[in-house]
Amino acid sequence: MPSLDDLKKRIKSVKSTQKITKAMKMVAAAKLRKAQENAEKGRPYSQKMQNIILNLTKSINDPSNAPKLLVGTGDDKTYLCVVLTADRGLCGGFNSNICKLAKAKFKKILSEEKNLKIITVGSKGLDQIKREYGKYIIKKFSFKDKKQISFNEADIIGKEIINLFYQKEFDKCLLFYNNFKNVITQIPQSQQIIPAEIISESKSDNNNLYEFEPDEDEILEDLLPKNISTQIFKAFLENAASEQGSRMTAMDNATRNAGDLVDKLTINYNRSRQASITKELIEIISGAESL
């Protein structure tokens, strides 16, 4: 059984940890508000970009002349998977959930005897993926020195993906990230960005109302590379909000758990102290009786 001094030190240590987790929770809550606003502002722009590409795609008369970024190589033998995670931990299952979804996709791709290539963004994702799929990683990105991810970082990754595509390194590109829903819920997502995954809406079949100048093919040639960087930046914004939400929840749970542990340790300390006092009293009474 631990001594009174050991219990005292343990209680002091847990209380110090509780102060740290409480402070981290407050910092995450402050950062979450701004990150959530940025994510919500980025969604309409990303959706509008997809709608524009949808309208342009409907107007193309000859699909064989469409840009390769839109229609792909016509094959699906090689997959490039881009896994976006954080560079910091202590955020619950945020990184693990993304990697879990990505690994499930990796397993499926390899089981179908197709080629797999991986790009990791964030050190935490790299740490988890390299244990099992290290030989498939072709590129690593980390922006831990950046206080906030901007469009420039998304554009760097976008250009790298496009260069690999034109070098015929892959046929399809998938993006893995966490979609922010609320503080408690962040949903891991898999999005195909090459060839462009266009979800048509049955309500908007109004392509005849648009006239394009220059031709649709020329507009798409310029717009599609920007769309890839835009989708990656949207994923960054969603990840930033999800990370802070997950960290806030994790630190709140840690603070409450530390409080419960302090209560249990205090009860044990009081019991041990009472037992010690009782033992001393018995020894004093026994000594007095012997005299």
Q: How far apart are CA 155 and CA 82, in angstroms?
A: 14
**Closest to 216 in 3D by CA, of 59, 104, 62:** 59
Band (pLDDT 50/70/90 cuts) for residue 205 is very low
Band (pLDDT 50/70/90 cuts) for residue 63 is low
CATH of 22-250, one of 3.40.50.300, 3.40.1380.10, 3.40.50.11540, 1.10.3720.10: 3.40.1380.10
H or E element, residue 232: helix 216-290
Percentage of the chain modeled with pLDDT above 90: 61
Q: How far apart are CA 97 and CA 130, in angstroms?
A: 16
* Residue-level pLDDT at 73: 84
**Closest to 120 in 3D by CA, of 167, 77, 177:** 177
The domain locations on the chain are 22-250
- What would the pLDDT profile of 2-44 be if each residue is shown by its tens digit? 788 889 999 999 999 999 999 999 999 999 999 999 999 988 9
Q: How far apart are CA 179 and CA 49, in angstroms?
A: 18
Band (pLDDT 50/70/90 cuts) for residue 114 is very high
- Does the structure show a pLDDT above 50 at 207? no
What is the largest distance, in Å, between two alpha-carbon atoms of the chain?
113
Judge contact between 116 and 136, C-beta under 8 A: yes
* Residue-level pLDDT at 51: 82
- 133-137, 155-159, 183-187: least confidently modelled range: 183-187
Residue type, 155: D
* Residue-level pLDDT at 212: 63
Residue corresponding to tokens 């507009």: 219
Q: At 267, give phi and psi (nearest 5°).
A: -60, -45
In whole numbers, what is the pLDDT of the chain averaged over residues? 88
